[in-house]
Structure 1
Amino acid sequence: MPSIEVDLCLFDLDGTIVSTTYAAEAVWRKFCSKYNVDPEELFKVSHGSRTSEMMARFFPNVDNTDNKAVKELEISIARNYLDLVTLIPGAKDLLLSLDINTTTKEKLPERKWAIVTSGSADLAFSWFSTILKEVGKPDVFITAFDVSRGKPDPEGYNKAQTDLTKILGMDPKSVRSVVFEDAPVGIKAGNAMGALTIGITSSYDKKVLFDAGADFVVSDLTEVVVAKNTKEGITIEIKNPLSKD
């Protein structure tokens, strides 16, 4: 069973923590139908990308001033399709375990994990008041509106790592991070910022994730266990990692 030693855990959200594929596709199909756009062409590039980028590429004539079209489209996922949204298996338990010191069994004073999502703040935050209410929204939460460049650019992950090191008083030059992602663009972003990357096959086949550069690939987050979590660092064990073959 392979294990890794890290200081910080950085998570994508959609497809990594929360399974929103069916809900998002339902919203996009309705939107595409309204503007006579082929949804299958959009789905080839939309997963893991910012909605604003898809809006500009496929719907250039839609008024998206101040991201109003993006916000309306994304919030409709939570408002109208919540019944299609589920948690990735193991996600809640993994996040909760990262909040506990494994030696003292007490809750850590500061979280060592963050969310970096291509979604808007309204939608991303909403999951932590519904299906992730028990976990609660982390202090470091990077959304599409917090960066100028989306994945595969590492800007979002770099920002999250920088913010966490400041909160935790860590040396940014020596910090070790792992990125959890379900999309190739996210794996590439994690690699670009120098982190280890763990791919989850909730949206793409393992080959796609390995080809993007994933260090490890698992079927879901039940295969990721926090073996040690103290002020010295985090030891993560990866059960049943998928092989490249």
Structure 2
Amino acid sequence: MPETPLPARRFAALLFDMDGTIISSLASAERTWSRWARAHGLDVATFLPTIHGVRSVETIRRLALPGIDPEAEAAAITRAEMEDVGDIVEIPGARTFLDSLPRERWAIVTSAPRALAERRLAAAGMPTPGLMIAAEDVTHGKPAPDCILLAAARLGIAALDCLMFEDAPAGIQAADAAGSPVVVVTATHQAPMRTAHARIPDFRRLRVDATPEGVRVALAGEAS
């Protein structure tokens, strides 16, 4: 999918989803969830598209399976995912881009539990942010805006002054609800997504202009 124009203004901070946005853990997650789905008699092909971008406990809770404790099942899935990180990699250009940002100007906002997020970032050789909002930090995960609003609050800025990088519909909805502009990263998309937001395939052409007034991102060759 081709790049589309990025927001032209400066932002106080950049927020990043993790899975599918700055790292690719698609294969790992789908292996774990496929085993779980088969064990519970679910149609794997139909079920897998529903897991992305939301907290595991909410994915399980939505199913309303009889005799299932969503919290216990989600914890078991997290343990399995933490053992399966061998093929987790960065989205192309993501590490270089993150390394170019002032540390106080970016954060990760993920639906993954903190321990799993840290494990996956380490497996992909990615930098650790100064601030991470993880699954256990909010009562309502994406598509609710709570995680983005919390990240903005902890950074001491308004959500509308944060530029959110996302890949999944739930995260895009969360950013929209929070009032944060969005850039959609399409690296792991298997089909085009219908969206009015700016899109990039990965981070390789992204450049940073950071000043005390904020951060502006642009594509290489794009006018400042």
User: Structure 2 length as normaliser, TM-score?
Assistant: 0.86
**Identity level (%):** 28
Q: Which has the higher contact order (CA 8 A, sep 6+)?
A: 2
Q: Runs of at least 4 residues of structure 1 off by over 6 A? A: none
**d(CA) in 2 for partners of 1:209 and 1:75?**
34
1:135-154 matches, cutoff 5 A: 135=127, 137-154=128-145
- Which AA in structure 2 matches 1:218? I
Match of 2:110 in 1: 117
Other structure's SS at 2:86 match: helix
> Is this contact kept in 1: 2:97–2:203, CA < 8 A?
yes
**1:119 CA displacement:** 1.1
**d(CA) in 1 for partners of 2:158 and 2:76?**
40
Match of 1:45 in 2: 50
1:53-132 matches, cutoff 5 A: 53-58=58-63, 60=65, 61-64=67-70, 67-79=71-83, 81-99=84-102, 111-132=104-125
**d(CA) in 2 for partners of 1:86 and 1:4?**
30
**1:139 CA displacement:** 2.9
Structure 1 portions without partners, runs of 5+: 100-109, 166-171
**1:71 CA displacement:** 2.5
- Which AA in structure 1 matches 2:168? A
**1:176 CA displacement:** 1.5
Q: CA RMSD in A?
A: 2.3
**d(CA) in 2 for partners of 1:160 and 1:144?**
12
**1:95-131 deviations in whole A, cap 9, x for unaligned?**
11003xxxxxxxxxx5211111111112112134332
Query: How many matched pairs?
Result: 216
Q: Does 1:11 align with 2:4?
A: no
Other structure's SS at 1:83 match: coil
Q: Does 1:162 align with 2:153?
A: yes
Structure 2 portions without partners, runs of 5+: none
**d(CA) in 2 for partners of 1:68 and 1:20?**
22
* Structure 1 residues 232 and 141, CA gap change in structure 2 (3 angstroms): same
**1:45 CA displacement:** 1.9
**d(CA) in 1 for partners of 2:49 and 2:191?**
17
**1:240 CA displacement:** 8.7
Q: Does 1:180 align with 2:180?
A: no
**1:62 CA displacement:** 2.6
**d(CA) in 2 for partners of 1:240 and 1:22?**
34
User: Structure 1 length as normaliser, TM-score?
Assistant: 0.79
**d(CA) in 1 for partners of 2:175 and 2:221?**
22
**1:196 CA displacement:** 1.4
Q: Does 1:218 align with 2:200?
A: yes
